[in-house]
Amino acid sequence: MKRVVIKTSEAVAYQGEAMECGDHFKNGASSKSHTSRGNFFNTIFFALLVASVVFGGCKKDKDDKVLSPEEEVEMVTVGMKSVGELVGTETPLTKSGGNAKPLWGIQVYLVTEREEQYYWEGAKVAYGVFDDISEVTLTLNKNRKYSIEATYMPNGQNEIQYLGGCWAYPFSTIGGAATPINQVIYNTSAYIHGLASGVNDGGNLSNAKYNEMDRYYGFVAEYTPVEGGTIEIDMKRTVFGLTFIGVNAEDFVYDNFVVQLDANAESGYMPKEYTLNVDKSQPTSQLVIPLICLMGVRASALDPGYVEKLKISLGIEGNPALIFYGDINVKRNTMHTYTFDMNAETADSGVNPIFDDGEMENEMGELN
């Protein structure tokens, strides 16, 4: 892939496409060819874009730093790379020889000089969806500070819905903007807004929570550009695994047991259900769910102590809460192991077993 460099002036070319994407999701229409909206509108948009991106410091907002026009126009080109738990462009899926097609989502914000600044309060500068960020470059003002938010899915192009020029969550945008792959789009109103969430829409939004899709997240709070510099994004894996071990399987009076995740799913979402046929010739039965995406993607990546509550049920078909119904605690990059008794008395009476919450603190390792 060639190096991607799109300067601010080139952003005008994408506004027609951006509006088409918004129209598509509003009206269900198919994508259409894009025509010019006229020199007048292009001129107006470009003037606003330059004023907000290049000369953003000229507007005083509380404690915002005001820079002179001479300082404002010193633009430089920088690159990006991933560090931390995701180094380089190889991933567990690609290393295993699969047909994975990775997907990155990048959002750039302008940091303002105010107290209690949150990254989403900064001015929107640029966004993009890429298959490889190592070849991407950004043109930024060296006299300003930026925050960068990123998410990465090792198999995102195969897993996330792409329709009418738009990627669905977590790569969808606010502002009616398209998300063409491998293009930096400088836009001060549209932005990718799903990067921090664990909603992964593969075309069925009701199945978009706690699904088996691998995710990473990274955030750079303040970056000051220098010519030829590199933005290093510390990426954290934001998934967990679950192992359920049923003992005394030979005494289980049913042929299978069922595990439901997100058992009290809010309206619009469905619980995830897994069924295991019980081999009664063996003393134990085991169900392993090796990879589940957390809902708190951003929180889990930035807070080492982050714990997410997940409602689960254990039971049988037709009565999924027969054995157990309650909350468990899960955290990123951890395989959680739970042991429960499958004997006839427990299953028949609905007595809640005592769970052995054996959290394995080691990293989850590569996927096969």
**pTM of the model as a whole:** 0.76
Q: Is the pLDDT of residue 45 over 50?
A: no
Please tell me whether residues 200 and 330 are part of one structural domain: no
pLDDT, position 209: 93
Q: Of 266, 268, 253, 269, which Cα lies nearest the Cα of 319?
A: 253
* pLDDT over 70 percentage in the chain: 67
Mean pLDDT of 7-24: 36
Query: 105 is in which domain, residue-wise?
Result: 8-237
Please tell me whether residues 78 and 122 are part of one structural domain: yes
Please tell me whether residues 250 and 207 are part of one structural domain: no
pLDDT, position 267: 67
Strand partners, 230: 79
What is the distance between the alpha carbons of residues 331 and 300, in angstroms, rounded to a whole number?
A: 7
Choose one of 237, 260, 281: the last residue of a domain. Answer: 237
Q: Is the pLDDT of residue 46 over 80?
A: no
Please tell me whether residues 229 and 276 are part of one structural domain: no
Alpha carbon distances (Å) from 344 to 87, 128, 254, 299, 323: 49, 55, 9, 41, 11
Please tell me whether residues 149 and 167 are part of one structural domain: yes
Mean pLDDT of 162-179: 87
State the pLDDT confidence band at 294, using cuts at 50, 70 and 90.
very high
pLDDT, position 360: 39
pLDDT, position 114: 59
39's enclosing H/E stretch is helix 39-53
Alpha carbon distances (Å) from 179 to 152, 168, 351: 15, 9, 51
* pLDDT over 90 percentage in the chain: 41
pLDDT, position 367: 26
> Strand 335-341 vs strand 239-247: parallel, antiparallel, or unpaired?
parallel
Residue 280's CATH number: 2.60.40
Quote the number of domains for the chain: 2
What is the distance between the alpha carbons of residues 140 and 128, in angstroms, rounded to a whole number?
A: 15
pLDDT, position 266: 76
What is the distance between the alpha carbons of residues 11 and 208, in angstroms, rounded to a whole number?
A: 32
User: Identity (one letter) of the amino acid at 127?
Assistant: Y
State the pLDDT confidence band at 57, using cuts at 50, 70 and 90.
very low
